[in-house]
Structure 1
């Protein structure tokens, strides 16, 4: 969000002229001037396009700009997340949005450059989007699972927006099944605030859950920071910065984002001794595990352990690290998490 000085530079009063609005646009290094009253209530905005159209319609540089103000601009609250702001900007094709408090007082200006530029992490992410999504049945026959929609946005877009909100703007996506549909939908990622490159797997020879890391190592050997690896079918909100900080602190070769999973056994469980005597019974016990969430932090040297263009799974890679004396850590992730693998999961993600 803009700092106090740049925000002040972008503001003009109700009585300002077209010339003064143009100067504010130039000073603020954006495409809008913010029109406020003496109490800093936002009266509206004027874009460089508004000024251009006003001049073409016969207005002069000394005309009062209030006559050309958009009095009902899209605004956001100070608590609005970066992902939600990017979503708004993309939906109505704008690159700046004023921030106002509950009383309508201007407190900031969100710009696309600021949002995608800070806090920016040097790390890249790899999104695994090559699977066929067979558990979703006919739903994925013509549409790849990452393009299933939740709240009017595809699942993979939510994944990308979460990464961008965390500061990761360089993303690789591994594609195979219906790859071109994913590429056509996401493009180069500019509209989501990131830069996307695609890694192509052979749809007829799937590389399993970690094989794409071997492709990434071959295609981007310059990677020198840990990589966030995530499945493309996850609805979850977490801080990639916190995850990577944990990974570095523990000196891990690979870190798994782990979350609690509870399972209630629907039967009475017998406690049986070695001579087959029953020593007790526990009725419908609840068992808690920590499971892999499908999100990983992988150090650059670990990428080199994955064979090139050979099927390889994440459990294979974890086992190889452990056997090689490399540390594998588990980061506790407590946020809500849905692995959209079945129609029931998809309905849950949609709140149905």
Structure 2
């Protein structure tokens, strides 16, 4: 999470600014840092109150140019860096501000300690797909909807909502179908968890995107969608910020997946052998089951029309809309089989013991 675009842009000054300009900016914007950019908009460095004091002690005055007091090569981070990593950088380097830049060093944002350590209250909606039958998890799901299977004594759905609540989300919609009444009886309208919960009731399975066509009223701001069987430490708020910052109509969280071939691979061209690879490792990205969408993406869904999320992304791509991938490295588990459920309980117990 970075400070709002309006605020960090107010803290940007050109190279030909004076010390007086910096002092006025620090007083006006009140984020304890000025970002200095060149004519191309690339970050040249930063200036803090301490840099000004040291310059004045060296004999500079208010009309002096800022070139000699700029802190060159400050610590910067890319927009996709996880919040936990940014916090660790701040602690390790004893700093409270870190600029966010792109590959060419253009300023994209600014992390502030007070902002990044305080969850933002988010009015955005979060939709959780909880209508699946969970056939691969039988017999566990014969009398229990899959998202209600317990991990460390709580339904998976409760873990997801609690995680999102820590990120500042308080408005939830649960899409239910199979044994949906059990979910409604357990959560009600969210009073116990101090959130607001509404329901989309599918008359027939509509897929991981189809139920969104039932949203009424439709969201007016970007919103998050997650499968009800995905347990992850992903920062839902950071996904939403990434989605908005990159002007995407739809963003899919993706996770790196590696698979090692069990045999040595022979590369051929016709009958000629042109190379060998000993048990090569194939790397790809897989769909992590968590998404951010703009409201206009829903225009491609019809009420009661079955549609999976990859199909919705393909429809958006066919209309040349921007669809983005948000790489995650946080712990992630798709609880689709009995051994996944056992692993979820084991992992959660291990994490709790280490806290």
Q: TM-score normalised by the shorter chain: which range applies?
A: 0.5 to 0.7
Aligned mates of 2:268, 2:135 — CA distance in 1: 40
* Structure 1 residues 176-228: Cα deviation after superposition (integer angstroms, max 9, x where no partner): 000101111111112223110010001xx311111011111xx123x211110
Contact 2:222 2:292 in 1 (8 A): yes
Instruction: Report whether the alignment pairs 1:297 with 2:292.
Output: yes
Instruction: Report SS of the residue matched to 1:210.
Output: helix
Per-residue CA deviations over 1:275-321 (Å, capped at 9, x if unaligned) read: 13222221221111111100000101111211111101111111111
Counterpart contact for 2:234–2:331, Cα < 8 Å? no
SS in 2 for 1:161: helix
Structure 1 residue 207 corresponds to structure 2 residue 206: yes
Number of the residue aligned with 2:159 = 158
* 1:8-55 Cα deviation digits (max 9, x unpaired): xxxxxxxxxxxxxxxxxxxxxxxxxxxxxxxxxxxxxxxxxxxxxxxx
Q: Which runs of 4+ in 1 moved over 2 A?
A: none
Residue aligning to 1:247: 243
> Which position in structure 2 is the counterpart of 1:139?
140
Structure 1 261/118 Cα, relative in aligned 2: closer, same or farther at 3 Å?
closer
Deviations 1:121-161 (A, max 9, x none): 02001100000001112110101111111111110100101
1:280 aligns with 2:281: no
Change (3 A) 1:351 1:220: same
Residue 118 of structure 1 deviates from its aligned partner by 5.9
Unaligned runs of 5+ in 1: 1-116
Pairwise mapping of residues 66-215 of structure 1 onto structure 2 (< 5 A)?
119-202=120-203, 205-215=204-214
Match of 1:270 in 2: 266
CA deviation digits over 1:87-141, x for unaligned, max 9? xxxxxxxxxxxxxxxxxxxxxxxxxxxxxx9631020011000000011121101
Do the aligned partners of residues 121 and 277 (structure 1) sit closer, same or farther apart at CA in structure 2, a change above 3 Å counting? same
Which of 307, 313, 321 is residue 318 of structure 1 equivalent to? 313
- Give the Cα–Cα distance (whole angstroms) in 1 for the partners of residues 126 and 299 of structure 2: 16
CA distances 1:72-94 after superposition (whole Å, capped 9, x unpaired) = xxxxxxxxxxxxxxxxxxxxxxx
Q: Mark the CA change 1:193 to 1:119 in structure 2 (over 3 Å): closer, same or farther.
A: farther
Q: Look up the SS of the partner of 2:139 in the other structure.
A: helix
2:345 pairs with one of 316, 340, 350? 350
Q: Deviations over 1:60-81 (max 9, x none)?
A: xxxxxxxxxxxxxxxxxxxxxx
Aligned residues: 230
- Name which of 334, 344, 348 aligns with 2:329: 334
**Residue 220 (structure 1) aligned to one of 210, 217, 221:** 217
Q: What is the DSSP-based 3-state SS (H/G/I as helix, E as strand, rest coil) of the residue aligned with 1:351?
A: helix
SS class of match (1:229): strand
RMSD: 1.4
Indicate which of 227, 232, 235 corresponds to 1:231: 227
Checking the alignment, whether the CA contact within 8 Å between 1:164 and 1:193 is kept in structure 2 is no
SS for the counterpart of 2:271 is: coil
Give the Cα–Cα distance (whole angstroms) in 2 for the partners of residues 118 and 268 of structure 1.
49
SS at match of 1:220: coil
What is the TM-score with the length of structure 1 in the denominator? 0.63
Cα distance between partner residues in 2 of 1:314 and 1:344:
25
Whole-angstrom distance in 2 between the partners of 1:161 and 1:276: 59
